[in-house]
A and B are shown apart, each in its own frame.
Chain A
Amino acid sequence: MRANWKTYNPGHFFDEIISSPGYARKPARRLASYLRSLTHEDLQQKKLAAELAIKTMGISFTVYSDAGNIDREWPFDIIPRIIAEKEWDHTSLGLQQRLQALNCFINDVYNDQKIFKDKLIPKELVLDSANFRKQCMGINPRYGVWAHVCGTDLIKGGDGQFYVLEDNLRVPSGVSYMLENRRVTKRVFPELFENHAIRPITEYPAQLFDTLAAISPRQSDYPKVVVLTPGIFNSAYFEHSFLAQRMGAEVVEGGDLVVEKDKVYMRTIDGLSQVDVIYRRIDDMFLDPSVFNKESVLGVSGLFNAWKKGNVGLANAPGAGVADDKIIYTYVPQMIKYYLGEEPILPNVPSYLCVDKVQRQHVLENLDKLVVKPANESGGYGMLIGPQASKRELAEFKRRIKADPRNYMAQPLISLSTVPILGDRVVEPRHVDLRPFVLQADKSYVTAGGLTRVAMVKGSYIVNSSQGGGSKDTWIVGDN
């Protein structure tokens, strides 16, 4: 195994490290020549060191279908992904702008509904969304912010530009892996950190805590913040426990909380103790059985009212998901102009709405060239990748689109950019995406980089860890 950049061949895709055979892009030059200097044994040994670090650090994720051994070790590739500082600063502004507009939109939907009156978005489209919560009408959370934590999925196309693929405004996960990836890389390549100016990312838990503290109804120096988890069997439990530990907050389950006189308390061995802010990692529908899903045993009865009365902060607010619907996504560039009076800094991937007759016709005729997505699924489930689909799958999707056009949108298959991974024998190109995390309360914050997800299978576009994807450390690197 050697990093030979002359034989490394990304084909017609945009590669983020190598511009042409044997030549590295400027921000990645040091990394490329360092990797080339390593012997097969060096690389092998570093790969093993990373695997060992992941095992002993207990970094794991859970796969629902894997009954029995539910905790799996985190799949990780040791070669970091490099993004130039300048490019990132620009992207970061775009991400903040986008979340601000999305929050204006959510607040508008649940209050004045000006955007419908001005006929920018058809009202039915929003009110029909599976993530619209009529119970939230008339509520105005502090700073007008509903989505305090957003995981935005970015991809790079053949032109080397970042495009927004989707906004995750409900309970986005992955930030703990971003942080752990960096810890592993530091153990594996300590020498590289000496020669590079790599932006640190460790402050995220502190930033998250500040964001949560800012929405505390009781203004004190130490608001009681808790992380509400569905429990140990949730695929993101590792992250819930990780973030709580780093923030010095408690991890609680529904059964630990109780609402009395519209205030939320947790049950401790010393009796009830009031909770100020809940960073909830369970879905809207399970939050409060007295308002949403009555069958829910994960949530807390009375929680919604306590929040509505302003006695507890909830991040993200119930109903925030109305803006992470994939149909609403297509309107975000217009929202930015409408609410902020600014040009969008980051472009969307071009999209076709199946609810529109003309666009639907185009989608149905070109299904084998498009990617079709349902409005409300996440984790890559329920998608059709046209160019890779069988005739039967294509026919099935045609039927589904005709039956429920509101639920589908389609995009051209973007040629995702590639980065090198350490294969069994050689360094090989693989497709990646990027999930930065954006925070907003009294101020905004964007992580330096984010979680890079890699499709570990050659040629594959599927980056989800639940479906065989891996991940990488992501470096924002200065020019010198």
Chain B
Amino acid sequence: MLSRVAERIYWQARYLERAENTARLLNVFSTLLLDLPPGTKLGWHSLVEITGTDQIFDAKYKQASERNVMRFLLCDNPGGSLLDMLANTRENARTTREIMPLEAFEQINDLYHFAKGNLKSGVDRGSRHQLLEEIISKCQEISGLMAGSMSRGEAYSFVRIGRSLERADMATRVVDVGSGNLLPDLSLGSVPPESYEPYENTLWMNILHSLTAYQMYRQNVKHRVNGEDVVTFLLQDEDFPRAATHALTTISHVLKKLPNDTKVAKQVNRALRFVQNGDIKKLLRSGLLEHLDSLQVEIANIHQSVADTWFLPNK
């Protein structure tokens, strides 16, 4: 398989997964913010922080209002908006048409045109939910189609690596938001301390929702929703597909299908050990943010070693 084709198929899968995750994130946060009391610091700006685009946003907009944030994340951030993620999915798919199922390209093409015509309407709260639900379900349709019709050879291995890396990345970002930035701010707000609890619950429940993890969490973790269990579940669960540990384990299995995988496998195992060895209870008291930062670096290093090993060298 050509290195260039491997690279494009990998990015196609990453962008598709990223688009789905972003759509879900926006959807969940739109509902979550309605539940939180005024005075909490968790606000629309948190959304641009999660997606790591706060600097670009701040340079562009004076105010982190709901409309501004939504416009920015949906369609007004070149290269980083939901629309551009779908455009990138399509561009990468267009150049790998020969090896993907024909219908997959057609659906990706449709999805892009649908998003192009409709994403702006998501700036309004009234139509946002339905729009994002539709994007999510179309993304899942495409992933399902590829899962159902592509042989488990080299091409599909790159799809899975791209998708899993994106999932691991998203899990760490979401945990980052839930644990680090926002809870202390809750206590600094105008809310009296004894009333934290319901909001803390709401927050963690929504964090789970943003990774479609709520039901699986309830079935597997029998306690009530609490920070420590949620963080443990999202980082260390071996069976939930969007948990960091599961995603990284998937990559290490997939690698066996590919030639010259030693270097990449080493890096994946490093990241895996790192995430599994974290003592969440202790980290929650102090050091979780630094831990998550290091985990992000480990994940970025996996991408780097994949690129070094299989993709075209940079010119």
Q: How far is the CA of A268 from the CA of B315 in the complex (A)?
A: 16
B294 at the interface (CB under 8 A from A): no
Assess whether B6 is in contact with A232, with CB atoms less than 8 Å apart: no
Is there an interface contact between B106 and A255, defined as CB atoms closer than 8 Å? Answer: no
Complex: how many Å from CA A252 to CA B98? 12
What's the minimum C-beta distance from A302 to chain B, rounded to whole angstroms? 15
Which B residue sits closest to A242, measured CB to CB? B98
- Whether A271 pairs with B105 at a CB distance below 8 angstroms is no
Q: Is the CB of B312 within 8 A of A256?
A: yes
Give the distance in Å from the alpha carbon of A40 to the alpha carbon of B95 in the complex.
41
Closest chain B residue to A252 by CB distance?
B2
Tell which of A232, A251, A269 touches B1, judged by Cβ atoms closer than 8 Å.
A269
| Proximity string of chain B (257-290) to chain A, C-beta cutoff 8 Å, 1 when within and 0 when not | 0111000000000000000000000000000000
| Chain A min CB distance to B258 (Å) | 7
Contact with A along B67-102 (1 / 0, CB 8 A): 000000000000000000000000100110110001
Are B312's CB and A255's CB within 8 A?
yes
Interface residues on A, range: 10 to 19
A232, A245, A270: residue with the most chain B Cβ atoms closer than 10 Å? A270
Cα distance A252–B1 when bound, in Å? Answer: 11
Nearest chain B CB to A260's CB is how many angstroms away? 14
Minimum CB distance partner of A226 in chain B: B2
Chain A 237-270 interface mask (CB, 8 Å, partner B; 1/0): 0000100110000111101100000000011111
Known: A58-B105, A232-B94, A241-B98. A268 touches B1 (CB 8 A): yes
> Contact between B260 and A270 (Cβ–Cβ < 8 Å)?
yes
Q: From A56, A58, A231, A268, give the contact of B2 (CB < 8 A).
A: A268
Question: What is the CA–CA distance of A181 and B106 in the complex, to the nearest angstrom?
Answer: 20
The reply to whether the CB of B60 lies closer than 8 angstroms to some CB of chain A is no
C-beta contact mask, B301-315 vs A, less than 8 Å → 1, else 0?
A: 000000001101101
Whether a CB of chain A sits under 8 angstroms from the CB of B4 is yes
* Complex: A193 Cα to B59 Cα, angstroms: 65
Given A232-B95, A241-B97, A252-B2, decide whether A269 and B258 contact each other with a Cβ distance below 8 A. yes
Partner of A250, one of B2, B91, B94, B312: B2
Q: Chain B residues near A271 (CB, 8 Å)?
A: 259-260
Residue of A nearest to B91 (CB): A232
Shortest Cβ gap from A311 to chain B (Å)? 20
In the complex, A175 Cα to B105 Cα: how many Å? 23
- Tell me the bound Cα distance from A58 to B102 in angstroms: 9
A231 contact set on B, CB distance < 8 A: 95
Closest-by-CB residue of A relative to B102 is A58
**Which A residues are in CB contact (< 8 Å) with B259?**
269-271
Please state if A269 and B3 are interface contacts (CB–CB under 8 Å).
yes
**Interface centre among B94, B95, B259, by most A CB within 10 Å?**
B95
Given contacts A58-B106, A255-B312, A256-B312, contact A266 B97 (CB under 8 A): no
Closest chain B residue, CB of each to CB of A269 = B310
Q: Is the CB of A269 within 8 A of B6?
A: yes
Q: Which residues between 157 and 182 of chain A lie within 8 Å of chain B, taking CB atoms?
A: none
Whether B154 sits at the interface, judged by CB under 8 Å, is: yes
B2 adjacent to A256 (CB under 8 Å): yes
Please state if B95 and A268 are interface contacts (CB–CB under 8 Å). Answer: no
Contact, CB under 8 Å: B98 / A255:
no
Name the residue on B nearest A249 (C-beta).
Answer: B98
A residues less than 8 Å from B258 (CB atoms): 269
Question: Size band of the B side of the interface?
Answer: 20 to 34
Task: List B contacts of A244 (CB < 8 A).
Answer: 98
Q: Which residues of A contact B3 (CB under 8 A)?
A: 256, 267-269
Residue of A nearest to B103 (CB): A56
Contact across chains for A255 and B94 when beta carbons are under 8 A apart:
no
Interface residues of A in 315-358 (CB under 8 A from B): none
B92 to chain A, nearest CB (A): 10
Which chain B residues lie closer than 8 Å to A256 at the CB level? Answer: 2-4, 312
User: Roughly how many angstroms separate A232 CA and B260 CA in the complex, as a whole number?
Assistant: 29
Cα distance A463–B45 in the bound complex, in angstroms:
56
**A270 and chain B: residue at smallest CB distance:** B259
Query: Roughly how many angstroms separate A256 CA and B2 CA in the complex, as a whole number?
Result: 7
Q: How far is the CA of A271 from the CA of B6 in the complex (A)?
A: 13
List, in ascending order, chain B residues with CB within 8 A of A255's CB. Answer: 4, 312, 315
| Segment 1-52 of B: residues with Cβ below 8 Å from A | 1-4, 6
- How many angstroms between the C-alpha atoms of A301 and B3 in the bound complex? 18
* A268-B310 Cα distance, complex, nearest whole Å: 7
- The distance in angstroms between the C-alpha atoms of A251 and B6, with both chains bound, is 13
- Distance, CA A244 to CA B95, complexed state (A): 13
Chain A residues whose CB sits within 8 angstroms of the CB of B312 once the complex forms: 255-256, 267
The complex places the Cα of A253 from the Cα of B4 at a distance, in Å, of 9
What sequence of 0s and 1s flags, for each residue 141-155 of chain B, a beta carbon within 8 Å of any chain A beta carbon? 000000000000010
Which residue in chain B gives the minimum CB-CB distance to A266?
B2
Q: Which residues of B contact A267 (CB under 8 A)?
A: 2-4, 312-313
Residues of B contacting A56 in the complex (Cβ-Cβ under 8 angstroms):
106
Contact flags B140-184 to A (C-beta < 8 A → 1, else 0):
000000000000001000000000000000000000000000000
Q: Which residue of B lies closest to A267 (CB)?
A: B3
Q: How far apart sit A266 and B154, CA to CA, in the bound complex (Å)?
A: 17
* A241 CB contacts on chain B under 8 angstroms: 97-98
| B101 to A: closest C-beta gap in Å | 12
Distance from B103 Cβ to chain A, minimum over Cβ atoms (Å): 10
CB nearest to A251 among chain B residues = B98
Distance, CA A232 to CA B259, complexed state (A): 28
CB of B90 to closest CB in A, whole Å: 11
Task: Across the interface, name the chain B residue whose C-beta is closest to A255.
Answer: B312
CA distance A251 to B258 in the complex (A): 21
Q: B258's closest neighbor in chain A, by CB?
A: A269
Please give, as numbers and ranges, the residues of chain A lying within 8 Å of B310 by CB-CB distance.
Answer: 269
Complex Cα–Cα for A58 and B101 (A): 13
In the assembled complex, the CB of A127 is this many whole angstroms from the nearest CB of chain B, namely 36
CA distance A408 to B2 in the complex (A): 44
Question: In A30-63, which residues have CB < 8 Å from any B CB?
Answer: 56, 58
- Report A-chain residues with C-beta under 8 Å of the C-beta of B315: 255
Measured CA separation A241–B95 after assembly (Å): 9
Question: Apart from A267-B2, A267-B312, what 18 extra A-B contacts exist at CB < 8 Å?
Answer: A58-B102, A231-B95, A244-B98, A251-B98, A253-B4, A255-B4, A256-B312, A267-B3, A268-B2, A269-B2, A269-B3, A269-B6, A269-B258, A269-B310, A270-B1, A270-B259, A271-B259, A271-B260
Can you report 25 residue pairs joining A to B where beta carbons are below 8 Å apart? A56-B106, A58-B102, A58-B105, A58-B106, A232-B91, A232-B94, A241-B97, A244-B98, A250-B2, A251-B98, A252-B2, A252-B4, A255-B312, A256-B4, A256-B312, A267-B313, A268-B1, A269-B2, A269-B3, A269-B258, A269-B259, A269-B309, A270-B1, A270-B260, A271-B260
Point out residues on A near B: beta carbons under 8 Å.
56, 58, 231-232, 241, 244-245, 250-253, 255-256, 266-271
Q: Which 3 pairs between the two chains have the least Cβ-Cβ distance?
A: A270-B259, A269-B310, A267-B3
